[in-house]
Amino acid sequence: MSWIVLIVSGMLEAVWASALSASRGFTRPVPSVLFLVSLVASMLGLAWAMASIPTGTAYAVWVGIGATLTVLWSMAKGDELASPARLALITLLVACVAGLKVVA
């Protein structure tokens, strides 16, 4: 169950990162509220998962999921270039995060 909560928390990290950008310095209310709600939920989930998953592994998985999804979302929106090299590096990041789960 801790791994599921950690994965969802990592997904929420991508939500709050994207909402933070969309809030334009907290000048837009809907993205600002989405940022705050998803940030709190993400942090609570990370804290809960760390009760049974080693801190280094949990944090690396949380950041890896969040970073990967944030970059993929930016690419899907057209804000970032989806070059073969970038996609290969994102794939490598996902493989490293999965490897942490395997060796944990």
DSSP states of 31-59: HHHHHHHHHHHHHHHHHHHTTTS-HHHHH
Q: What is the pLDDT of residues 35-87, one digit of tens each?
A: 999 999 999 999 999 999 999 999 999 999 999 999 999 999 999 999 999 99
Number of domains in the chain: 1
Specify the pTM.
0.89
Q: Nearest-CA neighbor of 94 among 36, 5, 17, 10?
A: 10
Query: What is the domain extent for residue 90?
Result: 2-103
State how far the Cα of 32 lies from the Cα of 53, in Å rounded to an integer: 31
Mean pLDDT of 5-22: 97
- Give the largest Cα separation in the chain, rounded: 44
> Residue 102: pLDDT band by 50, 70, 90 thresholds?
confident
For the cut 70, the answer to whether the pLDDT of residue 104 exceeds it is no
Which pLDDT does position 38 carry in this prediction? 98
Answer for the pair 49, 6: CB distance below 8 angstroms, yes or no: yes
CA distances (Å), origin 78, targets 13, 66, 71, 72, 73:
20, 18, 10, 10, 9
Mean pLDDT of 25-35: 98
Structure tokens at 18: 């994207």
